[in-house]
A and B are shown apart, each in its own frame.
Chain A
Amino acid sequence: MKPADVLVIGAGPAGLAAATAASRNGCRVAMLDDNPAAGGQIWRADITRPHDEDPARAAAIADFHTSGAALLPGRRIVDVPSPSTLLAEAGGHFETYRWDRLILATGARERFLPFPGWTLPGVFGAGGLQALVKGGYPVAGKRIVVAGTGPLLLAVAAHLREYGASIVTVVEQASTLQMLPFAASLLRSPGKLLQGAGYRRTLGATPYQTGCWPISGQGDETLRSVTLTNGRRTWTVECDLLACGFHLVPNTELAQLLGCTLQGSFVQVDSQQQTSVAGIYCAGEPTGIAGVDAAQVQGEIAGLAAADCSPPPTRLLARRAKEAAFGRRLTHAFRLRPEVLKLASQETIVCRCEDVTFSQLQTRSNWTDAKLHTRCGMGPCQGRICGSATEALFGWQLTSVRAPLFPIPVSAFCDESSSLNAPSAR
């Protein structure tokens, strides 16, 4: 019997674990990612420290390569031409990929909540600034405010400080009381506790202000200061950069385009990580925000299931349950306070692609109405950024996901070598 062709979308911790498990168990595996290298976001390679690699990342990538699976970077999935093929765009060309089993490991992105000044140069996502620093942006000597919510803030602040930045303050919107049960539960996860303690140690005397959040950024051409509040008083701190993210939202667009059922915001999966569509599996953050350990174990289970190695070993199931519980505590601890959902003023741009302001959106009744009348969500990001913002501001739900999932250059459609034009394709 011909080995099954397994296609893995996303080369982060979940994708790497899935591809490795499927390949080790006899499948022919190809793993696609839109970035130039494997590792995803949490294991993004640091160009300034090529020899100072995260041991977990190094092990996962080495296992992947040993397994014989193939990595195809720089490719973005844009369409589903038939039930068993995906269309990718790479460097202005189309490529078609056929699969017997498909594993979605598309990860998560940061949640951005608009506030006055959030479009100024100098304002980044928290993970966004970390990615840019790993990509070579030097921050030594820069005064940085790290704000928003989630465990990422401490990790980012510690990382920036290691690169010589001066962290003015770390501002966490969740209160100490709200985070207490989560912090206490870390005693059951010594690895995570040590990691958190390590970040705190790196940060030294840097303030970690809980129950506080940013309300505006000031500057003309670039950011000069950030105004913070704890709900009772407000104060302004001077800084060069603001790294601000409000935890994570899952990347579920491809799963939706494939017809996979969502449960709330997340892709619904069964005990073997299979989605509502037979032969399509999903692992990691799209099934629930729970971090790198959850992503790896889910990836392995998905990879084994795709290779027909069932049922999954009980040790993996136990680890998955433990990490899922961690994810639930995380979500609860860093739930958003109502104040941060309503930081935009009348003039604040909500849709950055099309420069649509809060006042323009205020009179619209829902997402579709806003799209039709203001072009909100119609720009290149296709609502990936403003969608979670308008959900927070107005309670709107995004109505549909359509191909192409990402903007495609028109030249790709004219390209003779693009397999899209092949008679077998649509």
Chain B
Amino acid sequence: MPDQQIVIHVNGSPISVPAGSMLSAALLMASAPCRISTTGEPRTALCGMGICLECRAIVNGVPHTRTCQTVCQEGMRVETQS
């Protein structure tokens, strides 16, 4: 594992992840869904490569951010999108 850990905030709670982690992976580590579907189901990343768009979440206030194509940065704030 890379030595360096960074802290991001998932739905308000801090979580330490290896530097370079994909945000979708960090959401899985935090057991947080990326988004809540139109009928209220929790969804997590499916394709892992930015095609299915199930990985959309609110990142630093920006909705519809594809977390499978976003690398975690120190202090990043991510929220489940509904």
A and B: bona fide binding partners: yes
A-side residues, CB < 8 A to B, are: 34-36, 41, 47-48, 50, 74, 92, 109-110, 112, 119, 121-125, 127-133, 135-138, 221, 251, 349, 352-355, 379-381, 384-385, 407, 409
Contact across chains for B20 and A47 when beta carbons are under 8 A apart: yes
Q: Is the CB of B25 within 8 A of A125?
A: no
Q: Which residues of chain B have C-beta atoms less than 8 A from A130's C-beta? A: 48
Q: Which residues of A contact B42 (CB under 8 A)?
A: 121, 221
Contacts of B64 in A (CB 8 A): 380, 407, 409
- CB-defined contacts of B24 to chain A, threshold 8 Å: 132, 135, 137
Query: What residues on B are CB-neighbors of A110 within 8 Å?
Result: 47
Given A35-B69, A121-B44, residue A47 in contact with residue B52 (CB < 8 A): no
Measured CA separation A97–B49 after assembly (Å) = 23
Judged by a CB distance under 8 angstroms, whether B14 is at the interface is: no
Q: Is the CB of A132 within 8 A of B56?
A: no
- What are 27 contact pairs spanning A and B, CB under 8 A? A41-B49, A47-B20, A47-B21, A48-B2, A50-B2, A110-B47, A112-B52, A119-B37, A121-B44, A125-B47, A125-B48, A128-B46, A128-B49, A132-B45, A132-B48, A135-B24, A136-B18, A136-B21, A137-B22, A137-B29, A251-B51, A349-B37, A349-B41, A379-B53, A384-B51, A385-B47, A409-B64
The answer for the CA separation of A92 and B26 in the assembled complex, in Å, is 23
Q: Interface centre among B1, B22, B38, B51, by most A CB within 10 Å? A: B51
Judged by a CB distance under 8 angstroms, whether B54 is at the interface is yes
Could you tell me if B2 and A135 are in contact, using CB atoms closer than 8 angstroms? no
B25 contacts A385, C-beta separation under 8 Å:
no
The 6 tightest CB contacts between A and B, nearest first, are A135-B22, A131-B48, A136-B21, A128-B48, A137-B25, A47-B20
Of B26, B45, B62, B69, which contacts A124 at CB under 8 A?
Answer: B45
In contact, A121 and B33 (Cβ under 8 angstroms): yes
Residue numbers in B under 8 Å from A47 (CB-CB): 2, 18-22
Pairwise interchain contact A352-B49, C-beta atoms closer than 8 A: no
List the A side residues contacting B37 at CB < 8 Å.
Answer: 119, 349, 352, 355
Q: What residues of chain B lie closer than 8 Å to A384, measured between beta carbons?
A: 51-52
A129 touches B51 (CB 8 A): no
Query: Given known contacts A132-B22, A135-B24, A136-B26, is B1 in contact with A48 (CB within 8 Å)?
Result: yes
B21 touches A352 (CB 8 A): no
- Is B51 within 8 A of A385, CB to CB? yes
Contact B29 A138 (CB under 8 A): yes
Q: In angstroms, how far is the closest chain A Cβ from the Cβ of B37? A: 5
Which B residues are within 8 Å of any A CB, using their own CB?
Answer: 1-2, 17-22, 24-26, 28-29, 33, 37-39, 41-54, 56, 62, 64, 68-71
Contacts between chains A and B (CB distance < 8 A), count:
121
Q: Which residues of A lie under 8 Å from residue B47 when comparing CB positions?
A: 109-110, 112, 125, 127-128, 131, 385
B34 CB to closest chain A CB (Å) equals 9
User: Inside 8 A of A135's CB, which chain B residues have their CB?
Assistant: 21-22, 24-25, 48, 68
Given contacts A135-B24, A355-B41, contact A385 B52 (CB under 8 A): yes
- B33 — nearest CB in chain A belongs to which residue? A121
Known interface pairs A136-B18, A138-B29. Does A125 touch B46 (Cβ–Cβ under 8 Å)?
Answer: yes
Residues of chain A within 8 A of B21, CB atoms compared: 47, 135-136
Nearest chain A CB to B20's CB is how many angstroms away? Answer: 4
* CA of A138 to CA of B68, assembled, Å: 15
Beyond known contacts A35-B49, A47-B19, A121-B44: 12 more, CB 8 A cutoff:
A47-B21, A109-B47, A110-B47, A119-B43, A125-B48, A133-B25, A135-B68, A136-B20, A137-B22, A137-B25, A354-B38, A407-B64
Cβ-defined contact, B28 with A109, below 8 A: no
**B71 lies within 8 A of A48 (CB):** no
Min distance, Cβ A145 to any Cβ of chain B, angstroms: 16
Q: Which residues of B contact A353 (CB under 8 A)?
A: 53
Quick one: which of B22, B45, B56, B69 contacts A136, CB cutoff 8 A? Answer: B22
**A125–B50 Cα gap in the complex (Å)?**
12
Instruction: State in angstroms the CA–CA spacing of A121 and B29 once bound together.
Output: 12
Contact A124 B38 (CB under 8 A): no
Q: Of residues A110, A129, A131, A136, which shows the largest number of chain B Cβ atoms within 10 Å of its Cβ?
A: A136
- Given A110-B47, A131-B68, A353-B53, A136-B41 contact (CB < 8 Å): no
CA separation between A138 and B52, bound complex, in Å?
22
Q: How many whole Å from A260's CB to the nearest CB in chain B? A: 20
B53 to chain A, nearest CB (A): 4
Bound Cα distance A128, B51 (Å):
10
Cα separation A259 to B29 with both chains bound (whole Å): 43
